[in-house]
Amino acid sequence: MQQVWGSALTHEEAANAMVQETSAKSADIVLDVRHVSVEYAGGGGAVHAVDDVSFTLARGQILGLAGESGSGKSTLANAIARLLRPPARVVGGEVLYYPRPEADADARGAAPQPVDVLGLAPEALRAFRWRRLSMVFQSAMNALNPVLDIGTQITDVLQAHCPSMSRRNRQERAVELLRLVGIAPDRLRSFPHELSGGMRQRATIAIALALNPEIIIMDEPTTALDVVVQREILAEITDLRDRLGFSVIFITHDLSLLLEIADRVAIMYAGRIVETGTAAELHCQPRHPYTYGLLHSFPKVRGPRLALTGIPGSPPNLRALPTGCAFHPRCAFAFDACRDATPDLQPCASGARSVACHLYDDPAAFPVIDLSKPRAEAPGAAVSSSPNGAAQCM
């Protein structure tokens, strides 16, 4: 039986989450990221910051992206939003955006075609950004302009993207947006330094919401906040998502926080996604040794006290990655194949979760491996039970 981490989920909650996951799979996809790779060119060789990353985002879903510092989370986010500048270069892949069927179907009612964001011409890209996809940037508190009041910063976005909107309507919309994120309208003329950290963060979320986007990428939106304010902001984001129906890619290195807010989680290591699943699945039964290490890097709130094992070693140099599985120098389960071949991200038989690890090279079997015990010699030696990928969390 697996341990329960952070706020415990019961078996029933985990099972419910899996049902939701199955419906999310069949639900409307708004973003389909396919095999995206990004490099930073440089004198000492290219930095392979994002390597063959694929995932889908469903409408209304919160997808969490977690991984240690330098694993490529922000680079991936900036690639999706087409915000990368040289020396960064997207060297492969597609980012397909699916317009809302009811809003964008053509006159004969045909389903709208996906749009490749990476191929958009400048005018189309300008129309896509903020109206379809907006961003809350990493260090968002510093992203606010210190010499403009927040009202001006909100109306600037409206002026840039909706030039026909009247001044009065822009002001009204700014007040409406502040209310939406829980800031009193009388703070419209406040400068960033006159607001608390939490209010500044809310202001950046208000700016991201200005044009009612379908997707918001939030890059470490709560990292600099204390835990109480962090919790309030998370509740605010979930509430806004429920009311407005947008999808979120929520990036953080804090997996415990993601498990609370995300519907689905993708774990990144050295520029690749190594595991995806529902928050409940990853919480209750991590499959990848790296996910397991991340989960053992913060204490449980309930249950017996256990030593935190963490993850030995450091993230690899992305200019000179280890051969085979990039995690092998830090992995207690590594065996010969791990040093030679890079594992692909493979869906398990049920298709609800995926993992990139040679321990699971047979997706039909997809064994449950007890990651709390160091691996014995033969692959599969630490297998404790089998086979259908159900989360076991009690």
Ligand X SMILES: Nc1ncnc2c1ncn2[C@@H]1O[C@H](COP(=O)(O)OP(=O)(O)OP(=O)(O)O)[C@@H](O)[C@H]1O
Which positions touch ligand SF4 (CB under 6 A)? 288-289, 325, 327-328, 331, 333-334, 338, 343, 357-359
Closest contact distance (angstroms) between CB of 1 and ligand SF4 is: 22
Shortest CB 325 distance to ligand SF4, Å: 3
258 and 252 Cβ atoms separated by less than 8 Å:
yes
Contact partner, 209, from ligand X, Mg ion, ligand SF4, none, Cβ < 5-8 Å per class: none
Residues in region 195-224 near ligand X by CB under 6 A? none
Q: Please report whether residue 141 would count as binding ligand X according to CB under 6 A.
A: no
DSSP state for residue 291 in the 8-state scheme: H
328 makes contact, choosing from ligand X, ligand SF4, Mg ion, none, with CB < 5 to 8 Å by partner type, with: ligand SF4
Q: Is 252 in the site for Mg ion (CB under 5 A)?
A: no
Size of the residue set binding Mg ion (CB under 5 A): 2
Q: Which is nearer to ligand SF4, 223 or 384 (CB)?
A: 384
Pairing of strands 29-40, 47-58: antiparallel
The neighbouring-strand residues paired with 272 are 269
CA dist., res. 37 & res. 394, Å (int): 39
Q: Which does 151 bind (CB under 5 to 8 A by kind): ligand SF4, ligand X, Mg ion, none?
A: none
To ligand X, the closest distance from the beta carbon of 278 in angstroms equals: 22
* Dihedral, 305, 309, 315, 321 alpha carbons, nearest 10: -140
* 40 lies in the binding site for ligand X (CB under 6 A): yes
CA distance 274 to 314: 17
Under rule CB under 6 A, which residues in 49-108 are in contact with ligand X? 49, 67, 69-75, 87
157 near 130, Cβ under 8 Å? yes
Could you write out the three-class secondary structure of 161-184? HCCCCCHHHHHHHHHHHHHHCCCC
Q: Rule CB under 5 A: say whether 75 interacts with Mg ion.
A: no
276, interface contact from ligand SF4, Mg ion, ligand X, none, CB < 5-8 Å by kind? none
Distance CA(172)–CA(377), nearest Å, equals 67
Cross-sheet strand order for the sheet of 346-347? 133-136, 215-219, 247-252, 62-66, 264-269, 272-278, 354-355, 346-347
Parallel, antiparallel, or unpaired for β 215-219 and 133-136?
Answer: parallel
Identity of the residue, 60 or 72, whose beta carbon is nearer to ligand X in the bound complex: 72
Lookup result for tokens 């918001």: 216
Under the criterion CB under 6 A, does residue 253 sit at the interface with ligand X? yes
Q: Which residue has the tokens 């630490």?
A: 382
Told to check if 278 binds Mg ion by CB under 5 A, we report: no
Nearer to Mg ion, 69 or 166 (CB): 69
Q: What is the closest distance, in whole angstroms, from the C-beta atom of residue 217 to ligand X in the complex?
A: 12
- 147/378 with CB nearer ligand SF4: 378
Provide the minimum distance between the beta carbon of 79 and ligand X in the complex, in angstroms, as a whole number: 9
Q: 98 or 360: whose CB is closer to ligand SF4? A: 360
Nearest in space to 286 (alpha carbons), one of 304, 309, 303: 309
Kindly report the number of other CB atoms within 10 A of residue 306's CB atom: 12
Cis peptide before 87 (omega within 30 of 0): yes
Taking the complex as a whole, how short is the minimal distance between the CB of residue 323 and Mg ion, in angstroms?
Answer: 26
- In the chain, the largest separation of any two C-alpha atoms, in whole Å, equals 71
Q: CB-wise, 237 or 356, nearer to ligand SF4?
A: 356
**Which residue from 74, 204, 256, 354 is in contact with Mg ion, where contact means CB under 5 A?**
74
Q: Who contacts 98 (Cβ-Cβ below 8 Å, separation ≥6)?
A: 28, 29, 30, 31, 32, 112, 114, 115
325 binds, among ligand X, ligand SF4, Mg ion, none (CB under 5 to 8 A by kind): ligand SF4
Residue 155 touches Mg ion, criterion: CB under 5 A:
no
Q: Using CB under 5 A as the criterion, which residues of the chain lie in contact with Mg ion when the complex forms?
A: 74, 138
Where along the sequence are the contacts to ligand X (CB under 6 A)?
Answer: 40, 42, 47, 49, 67, 69-75, 87, 138, 253, 318
